[in-house]
Amino acid sequence: MSERTDPAVAEPLSIGQCATLACLLEATAPKPGNVHRGADFENMTFTDFAVSAAAIGPAMQAAAQRGVGATVLAAVQATRRLVPVNTNLGTVLLLAPLAAVPREQRLNTGVGQVLSNLAACDAEAVYAAIRLANPGGLGTAAEMDVAEAAPESLLAAMAAAANHDLVARQYADNFSEVLNQAALWIVEGRAAGWSLSDTIIHAQLRLLAAWPDSLIARKCGLPVAERASALAQRVLRAGLPGDADYLYEVGELDFWLRSAGNRRNPGTTADLIAAGLFVVLRENAITIAKRQNQVAEIERPRRIPVDHHQDFAGALVQVMISARAERQLVRAKRVQGTPINGHETSQCGTSQHGLSACGIW
């Protein structure tokens, strides 16, 4: 019988494995508003994301030799051969420069060098990949529009979009938000003793609170994206993973983001989470699975009964069920004209949680 390999001395993941696993972990965590293993969209499923994660691995593995533009195009082509919708353009645009950094270099120094070496061929390949992926809500731009010929400089094109696109912003500022926020917050969450799912969700909320989601802004307008950020901030003020108020507010945010036909899907935030996961996997900054002799996770007082074997996803389902039952009761009281918490409410009033009854419910 062969002995089990100690994870502490196991071979590091390959770049392709880091890319695939990062995408799988991002898609699996039950993040508010996104597709995950318990929530599909009408035209996009968790399986689409899982297949896409596997599809891009070989392209990312060869990124250091191929270069950024060729890697982006190869990854999008591989995805579209298997999946009929755009699941990962933003993620691929973020992963390609990171994957192109030679393995012996640290990402925080190597990615700047990769970006400085971009050439016209990279811009051409990236523009071709964007047209092939055909992302939703793209619209048109006054200059350097993707429907037109690619510019000489991909960095110039990204800089032109940096103020309204968080993926483009990473090219303009050496991946500052990926390295110094997404990846850092994932490491901090694991160091706090949170499960990986709790850590990923909390990092998503912090990003969404700090940066209006670019995909929401493109599809629904900047005010809606800023509203999503404000709601994420409210979740963070409610507590920490495992706290009842935090779980309740996560459920409320998830309900609102999934309204309007999932048009409020914070897809760009998810792209940065995937890139942050790639960083911590590539740098071996976190462990994915606990060792049997590892110290148990930090226990926090819980104000709702949750089975100790149950993870965040199960607890979230409980809270969402109770939250929706409460919303149904509030609706019924409004119809009857019954005061809610001692206050009369109009048809377009606000709930006890400050959410617009007309805009959200």
Q: Which residues of 237-268 are buried (b: 16+ CB within 10 A; e: fewer)?
A: ebbebbbbebbbbbbbbbbbbbeeebebbbbb
> Is pLDDT at 259 greater than 80 in this prediction?
yes
Distance (Å, rounded) from C-alpha 287 to C-alpha 266? Answer: 26
> Is pLDDT at 5 greater than 80 in this prediction?
no
pLDDT value, residue 150: 83
pLDDT value, residue 261: 86
- Confidence at 360, pLDDT banded by 50, 70, 90: very low
Look at phi and psi of residue 193 and say left if phi exceeds 0, alpha if psi is from -120 to 50, else beta.
left
Look at the block and give the residue holding tokens 């996104």. Answer: 34
Distance (Å, rounded) from C-alpha 139 to C-alpha 147? Answer: 10
Nearest CA to 161 among 95, 90, 227? 90
pLDDT value, residue 331: 44
What DSSP assignment string belongs to 232-287? HHHHHHH-STT-HHHHHHHHHHHHHHTTTTTTT--HHHHHHHHHHHHHHHHTT-S-
pLDDT value, residue 143: 55
19 phi and psi angles, rounded to 5 deg: -65, -50
The full set of domains in the chain, from first to last, is 12-192+268-282 (1.10.4200), 318-360 (no CATH)
- What would the pLDDT profile of 83-138 be if each residue is shown by its tens digit? 999 999 999 999 999 999 999 999 999 999 999 999 999 999 999 999 999 886 55
C-beta contacts of 162-166 below 8 A and 24+ residues apart: 164/214, 164/217, 165/214, 165/268, 166/211, 166/213, 166/214, 166/268, 166/269, 166/271, 166/272
Q: Find the angle CA(46)-CA(47)-CA(50) to the nearest 5 degrees.
A: 90
- 309 contacts 73 by C-beta, under 8 angstroms: no
What average pLDDT does range 343-357 have in this prediction? 30
Residues found in the chain: 361
- What would the pLDDT profile of 14-59 be if each residue is shown by its tens digit? 999 999 999 999 999 999 999 999 999 989 999 999 999 999 999 9
> Is pLDDT at 61 greater than 90 in this prediction?
yes
- What would the pLDDT profile of 312-344 be if each residue is shown by its tens digit? 455 555 545 454 555 444 344 433 444 433 333
Alpha helices in the chain (DSSP H): 15-28, 46-61, 63-66, 68-82, 89-99, 107-116, 120-133, 154-161, 166-172, 176-177, 183-191, 196-210, 214-220, 222-238, 244-257, 267-282, 312-336, 357-360
- What would the pLDDT profile of 129-184 be if each residue is shown by its tens digit? 999 998 865 555 545 456 667 899 999 999 999 999 999 999 999 999 999 999 99
pLDDT value, residue 149: 79
Distance (Å, rounded) from C-alpha 77 to C-alpha 99? Answer: 17
Distance (Å, rounded) from C-alpha 5 to C-alpha 12? Answer: 12
- 355 contacts 254 by C-beta, under 8 angstroms: no
